[in-house]
Every structure is written in structure tokens, then in C-alpha cells.
A and B are shown apart, each in its own frame.
Chain A
């Protein structure tokens, strides 16, 4: 698997990370290096082996259906750059 410059630009856009055009070529090299490194795993024969989700055999913990949180709008809104009447306020986004 290998990435070209257009793909790198596209990934950057999807991740909303601004990568100026002159920097993209260098990223192509870096990302391809990373992919190549991970692809070494393909050399291991994993036929018939189930994907491993946890190294310690843990299971997903489940919670009771009880209201134990919320009712702290001020704390939730505290980091919002702009708020009004209990809402977060952002530049207009509408279809």
C-alpha cells in the first residue's frame, strides 16, 4: 500500500488539518514509511486466528440504566468559545 500526494491532501482535509501544498510531498514519504512498517505484520501467518481485542482477556463492562450524571450545563459550556441562553454558539452551519 502506498499513498500519493493527492491522497495525502484528501486525508488532511478529512481530518481538518491544514497542510500547505509544499509540505505535502514530505508527508507522503513519512506516511508511506509508517505504512510500510505496519505492513511487516502481514508476514505473520494469521490463518484461523481470531482478531484480539484485549491482551488481558478483559470483557466490556456494562452499566446500569440509571441517571447519574448531567445537570451541569455551566461546566459543560465552560470551554465553549461562545455561548448564549444555555446553548453553544457557532458560526452558521446550515444545509
Chain B
């Protein structure tokens, strides 16, 4: 079912395109040798190039170029062997040169694709229009002084990849899935850390509405939205706003808006019209960037297994459901953790423990997989104890909780607490005899046809053995005894 918003006059379809600014992971900036670390003292990572001192010339960082190419390859995109840097001109206090070095008509990466795994198991393919390299601006701090703005140029000149999607997205959920998938791929590639709170991944959202089958409506752009949740909320609000304007007989004005994270509304930026006249022209300080095909091939050869390929392998090799495989591959570390647990063990049981018990416990305690108190080998050890019947599945849940709490290995907890499963038929027979003797009335009821009482007897025997009796043996021996 296509996502629509019902207005007073009927259903409206959403058309969404996203522009993501992803900060390139590199030691030094795109055109200078200053560092890129987050959170350093103001203006401590600024070269004269980044501060636009007269006469300073930009020299491009080879690794930043490599990262952009790697990302393009990861998005199955065309790599443009010749690309050109342009100046995008505008005035702002945190842009010391009065222009941003960017790429306009000839970006380094052309058309690509991104496959979205939707919650219902279907796959939606979204087009990538382009990826280009550009400089970040500095940072303005407005809340330190009533009449002044403070400017820190540490971010000025840091390499960004602007990744532009086609207007292929049709719902807030698809936009969210797009961002999560893109972030996952960037992290696998090691080209951007994808941290939206620290601003290393930022999103501009283009939204318009139309009747199904009609041409695109006029779009508005919501700038600098900094979380997946905010992007989804902003899209929904903005679409409803546009529908209301149109249904009231108004026209949408193409403009730039901001998402207000406290009032949950978008509002117009009071920018003047000409703010959008960037007067791009090729940067005379920089020659075209020409890549050797062999160099690009060399980067291609070092690409890791990406989420889509890994997901397919998990389904084919381990027999996992698309959903479980998707959950596991979304994060490289989680996927690696799972593979360690699954090695030499039943892959589906391993998946259940990792995605269910472990991810659940990690979520509840707000821990990352890297901080997990239970290592992959330790979780494997627990599964082994179940596989060789040392403990029952029921007891394993308790042992797991104890492992998560204390970080001790499963075997040590089982020994310490005496949780070893009772498989000695004599001991179980003894427990059964005691239970049957103590409940002679119920035994009589059972024998006269009240079959449902079987569960009661199993429960009593398990209680008698502190849950340590092998459940299959208990079932077996108990039914024999009751039929005597």
C-alpha cells in the first residue's frame, strides 16, 4: 500500500529527496594540513588556508579523494575520472573566504543506487543522483553573548561528501530507512562515522506533495536536520503544512525552512531571495581532478563485504530469515559478533540468542555491542552447554542473566550454583515418586481422564529438582509412571 496523507479533499502522495552531508574520515582537511578532530579548543585546528588568509593556496588531500571514490563504489555508482572543483559564493561569518570550494557540474561520483530493506521484507531501490566533495564551513555559536556571534574555524575546510538522492522516497519511513542504510554503508566503508549528534552526518530534506500520478509539486527544503527521527517528523509536518496551504487555495512557495526541534514545526528561514544565487565558477586555484582507472580499481579491490552482500550470505549460508539477517548486518561489529557465536554451532539458535537475548539486554542497559559484558566466545560457551545437555534451555536464560550481570563464563556459573541438568533417571524417578505420593488425589483424577493435569505433574517434578531435571526425560519418565 502506498503511503498517502488524507487531506480534506482527498489523498496526497509525498515526494521526498534527501541531501546528506557526510564528514569524511581523514586525519587532515580537504585542502590543508590542519587536523579534523572533534571537540578541540576553538581555532586550534586552523591553517592559514582554512582561515582564507590572502595568497594561501589549497592543495587537495589524496586520502579524502580516495574516501569519496570508495563511497561511490560502495553505492555502486559511476566514478568520474575527471571532476572539477568550483567556488560556491556566499557571505557568512563562518565562511572566511566568501566561497566554499565544492563541485558543481562535474562531481567525482555520478549515478548510483541504494537498496532499502523495508520492515515488511520488501526491497525498495532508491536512486543516488551524485556524490561530490566539498569543504565544510566553520561553526557559529550564537548563545554565548546577547549581541555577538562567536566563530570557531576548526571545522572550516574539513572534507564533506554531499550525497544527493533522486526524489524517489515516498514516506517518512522510507526516508528513515534510507538514512539508516546509507549510514550503515558509510560505516562499513569507514568513510564517515555517521554520528548525527556530533554533526558528522547532516541532512537537508526536500519535500513536496501531489495527487497520485500527477507531476511533482513545488518543493520546500528543510535544512540541517540532525537525527533520523527528526527527519521523519519534519517530513510529516511539512507535508501536512503544504497540503493545508494547497487545500485552502494557496500556492507553495519554493523556500528553505528549518525544523524546530522544540515546537515540532518547520518554519521559513528569513533569507533573502538572492541567498540562492551562488554564482558557481571553476576554482582557478585548482586544476581538474584526474583519476587513474588502475587507482580506482585498486580501491575497489579493498572494499569490505557490504551490508547487502552480507545479508544475502547470512540468509544463504546460515539459513536466517531476511529480518534476522537484516538486524545482524546493520552494524558490522554485530555481524562479526554473530559469526563468532555461530561458528561450529547451530546458526539459528545462535541468531536467536544474539538478536533476542543479547541485543535485548544491551538495549535495556544502553550498552553498545563493543561494551557487551558477554563476549561472543562466552555466549558460544553457553550455547554449547545447552547443546550437550549440561543445562536446559530454561536454566540457560538464568545463566545468561547472571553472565550479563557478572561477566563470568557460563560453565563457572553452572558449577558454582549447581545448575547442571539432572539426566540421571534414578534421581528423576525419585522426584516423580515423591510428587505422585504427595498428590495421590490428582493422580486419581488424571487416571480417570483429566489429561490436562500432566502439565501440573511436570511442573511439580521440575520444582522438586530446582528446575535442573532434563525436561524431555521428565516427560518421558512421568508419562510411563502415570500409565502404570
Chain A residues packing against B (C-beta within 8 Å): 10, 13-14, 16, 53-54, 58-73, 75-77, 79, 82, 84-95
Which one of B28, B59, B92, B152 has the greatest number of beta carbons of chain A within 10 Å?
B28
Q: Which of B37-45, B181-189, B420-428 is the interface stretch?
A: B37-45
Q: List 7 A-B contacts (CB under 8 A).
A: A10-B274, A61-B60, A70-B44, A70-B47, A88-B43, A91-B148, A94-B142
B61/A62 in contact, CB under 8 A: yes
Residue of A nearest to B150 (CB): A87
Contacts of A86 in B (CB 8 A): 41-44, 152
B149/A91 in contact, CB under 8 A: yes
B92/A93 in contact, CB under 8 A: yes
B288/A87 in contact, CB under 8 A: no
Select A66's contact among B33, B64, B153, beta carbons within 8 Å. B33
Classify the interface of chain A: helix, strand, loop or mixed. Answer: loop
If A70-B33, A89-B150 touch, whether A58 touches B287 (CB-CB below 8 Å) is: yes
Contacts of B277 in A (CB 8 A): 14
A88/B65 in contact, CB under 8 A: no
- Give complex CA distance A8, B280 in Å: 18
**Given A14-B279, A72-B46, A92-B147, 17 more contacts at CB 8 Å?**
A10-B274, A53-B287, A54-B287, A59-B287, A60-B287, A61-B60, A63-B33, A64-B62, A69-B28, A71-B45, A76-B43, A76-B51, A86-B43, A86-B152, A87-B42, A92-B145, A95-B269
- Give complex CA distance A73, B42 in Å: 8
Contacts of A16 in B (CB 8 A): 91
B258 at the A/B interface (Cβ < 8 Å)?
yes
Classify the interface of chain B: helix, strand, loop or mixed. Answer: loop
Shortest beta-carbon contacts, A-B, top 3: A68-B33, A65-B63, A70-B34
If A69-B33, A93-B149, A95-B269 touch, whether A77 touches B287 (CB-CB below 8 Å) is: no
A17 to B: closest C-beta gap in Å = 11
A65/B64 in contact, CB under 8 A: yes
B152/A87 in contact, CB under 8 A: yes
B42/A89 in contact, CB under 8 A: no
B43/A77 in contact, CB under 8 A: yes
- Give complex CA distance A62, B60 in Å: 5
A80 to B: closest C-beta gap in Å = 9
If A59-B290, A86-B42, A92-B148 touch, whether A69 touches B47 (CB-CB below 8 Å) is: yes
B84 to A: closest C-beta gap in Å = 8
Contacts of B191 in A (CB 8 A): none
Contacts of B212 in A (CB 8 A): none
A89/B149 in contact, CB under 8 A: yes
Contacts of A10 in B (CB 8 A): 274
B35 at the A/B interface (Cβ < 8 Å)?
yes
Interface mask (B49-87 → A, CB under 8 Å = 1, otherwise 0)? 101010000011111110000000000000000000000
Residue of A nearest to B152 (CB): A87
- Give complex CA distance A77, B138 in Å: 14
- Give complex CA distance A87, B287 in Å: 33
Contacts of A94 in B (CB 8 A): 140, 142, 149
Residue of A nearest to B96 (CB): A88
Which one of A63, A77, A84, A89 has the greatest number of beta carbons of chain B within 10 Å?
A63
Which one of B34, B41, B277, B289 has the greatest number of beta carbons of chain A within 10 Å?
B34
Interface mask (B7-26 → A, CB under 8 Å = 1, otherwise 0)? 00000000000000000001
B151 at the A/B interface (Cβ < 8 Å)?
yes
B404 to A: closest C-beta gap in Å = 40
Select A76's contact among B46, B91, B274, B286, beta carbons within 8 Å. B46
B470 at the A/B interface (Cβ < 8 Å)?
no
